Amino acid sequence: MRIFVCIKQVPDTETRIKLTSDSQGIDPTGVKWVINPYDEFAIEEAIRFKEANDDVQVTAITVGPKARVNNALLTAMAMGVDDSLLVNTDAALDALTTAQALANAIKAEGEFGLVLAGKLAIDGNVSAVPLMLAELLGIPHASVVNSTEYSDGFVTAGREIEGGTTEKFKLRLPAMITANKGLNKPRFASLPGIMKAKKKPIKEVSLDDLGIKTESIKVKFTNFELPAEKPACKMLGGSPEDQVNELVKLLQEEAKVL
């Protein structure tokens, strides 16, 4: 069975965001790029499936500029992914165009049994590409999944949503699963894994090869702004009783939230 894991590179969570001088984007200087944390759960899920079943090929797939995303693919392959498929482009695509590129790239590869992705990417937080991709591939999905169980031709996926509600869905394979924290504990790449990754194939395709036009982009981010500086914090002094009395007064009279 062929499994595709969709991965994205995002700025490390430590990154302090700076804007470009025209405020039309973020300044990439000094940004450290890492695999989106939720995608690591998806990678781990795929590798575990491979370890538990015969004849499984796990392919990492990503859309982005080669110079930047290559590292993410190498890391995924060092964790245990077999090979990679890179849609190499510098263009800033929107979610739907990205999903179309992924769908066309996956369809061109032939049959597959499972597509995995992180529940969202922590840069844009749009959380749309995987389910758009599922729609374009015509397969069912379960999102924000924290448990899975596979049985011949099906996957049972569990998730927890707002208010502690838990839901369980049974999907016919091929299916799309988007991973939440808690699905598993992603492994670290081992040293031999890192060595092996260097020899694993990365297949490259362009948007042209896939028939995707950047004119089809419908949504762009413009006019970026940094949050307004907060006024200095009011430090409340005295005994715990004094501090609490003053706080409650401020919350009532100044902030007007009580």
Ligand X SMILES: Cc1cc2nc3c(=O)[nH]c(=O)nc-3n(C[C@H](O)[C@H](O)[C@H](O)COP(=O)(O)OP(=O)(O)OC[C@H]3O[C@@H](n4cnc5c(N)ncnc54)[C@H](O)[C@@H]3O)c2cc1C
Euclidean distance between CA atoms 39 and 108, whole angstroms: 23
- 79 C-beta neighbours (distance < 10 Å), count: 24
Is residue 33 within 8 A of residue 53, CB to CB? The reply is no
Indicate if the alpha-carbon torsion angle 137, 141, 146, 147 is positive or negative. Answer: negative
Query: 86 vs 176, which CB is nearer to other proteins?
Result: 176
Considering the complex, state which of residue 21 and residue 239 has its C-beta at the smaller distance from ligand X.
Answer: 239
Say whether residue 203 binds other proteins (CB under 8 A): no
Tokens in use for 162?
């707002």
Looking at the Cβ atoms of 109 and 149, the one nearer to other proteins is: 149
Q: How far is the CB of 241 from ligand X (least distance, A)?
A: 16
Question: Minimum CB separation from ligand X for residue 144, in Å?
Answer: 15
108 binds, among other proteins, ligand X, none (CB under 5 to 8 A by kind): none
Based on its alpha-carbon atoms, the radius of gyration of the chain, rounded to whole angstroms, reads 22
Structure tokens at 42: 């998806």
Establish if 93 lies at the interface with other proteins (CB under 8 A).
no
d(CA 137, CA 134): 5
- Cβ closer to ligand X: 37 or 140? 37
Which residue do the tokens 């949050």 mark? 227
Shortest distance in whole angstroms from residue 12 CB to ligand X: 7
Between residues 185 and 198, which has the closer beta carbon with respect to other proteins? 185
Does position 26 bind other proteins by CB under 8 A? yes
Q: Is 19 in the site for other proteins (CB under 8 A)?
A: yes
Q: Which one of other proteins, ligand X, none is in contact with 53 (Cβ closer than 5 to 8 A by kind)?
A: none
Q: How far apart are CA 149 and CA 155, in angstroms?
A: 6
Query: If binding means CB under 8 A, how many residues of this protein chain bind other proteins?
Result: 84
- Site residues (CB under 8 A) for other proteins, limited to 130-189: 130-136, 139-144, 146, 156, 159-172, 175, 180-182
Binding partner selected for residue 1 from ligand X, other proteins, none, CB under the kind-specific 5 to 8 Å limit: none
The 8 Å CB, 24+ separation contacts for 147-152 are 147/182, 147/183, 148/45, 148/177, 148/183, 150/49, 150/53
Provide φ and ψ at 209, rounded to 5°: -55, -35
The answer to whether residue 195 forms part of the interface with other proteins (CB under 8 A) is no
CB nearer ligand X, residue 15 or residue 104: 15
- Whole-angstrom Cα distance, residue 63 to residue 84? 11
Indicate which of ligand X, other proteins, none lies near residue 70 (CB less than 5 to 8 Å, by partner kind). Answer: none
Rounded Cα distance, 96 and 46, in Å: 24
Q: How far apart are CA 135 and CA 157, in angstroms?
A: 18
Residues paired with residue 83 on neighbouring β-strands, in sequence order: 59
Of other proteins, ligand X, none, which one does residue 92 interact with (CB within 5 to 8 Å by kind)? none
Between 140 and 193, whose beta carbon lies closer to other proteins?
140
